[in-house]
Chain A
Amino acid sequence: MSDVVVRRINTAAVAIIFTVVAIAVLWPVVHLVSAAFTPGRSMANMPVIPFSNGFTTEHFEYLFTQTDYLRWFGNTLIVATATCLGTLLFASLGAYVFSRFRFTFKRPLLMGMLILQVFPSFVGMVAIYVLLYRIGGLDTLWGLVLFYIAGNMPFMIWLVKSYVDGIPRSLDEAARIDGASNLRTYAQIIVPVARPILTFLAVTSFTAPWMDFILPKLILRSPERQTLALGLFSFVTDKNNFFTTFAAGGLLVAVPFVIFFIATQKSLIASLAGGAVKE
Chain B
Amino acid sequence: MDSTNNQPNLSRRTLALMTAAAATAVVVGSIGIATASAGGEDLAVGEEMQFAQPVAAGFSVREFLIQYVPGAELILGTPDGIDDWGDCPACGMG
A and B: real partners? Answer: no
Residues of B bordering A, CB below 8 Å: none
Residues of A bordering B, CB below 8 Å: none
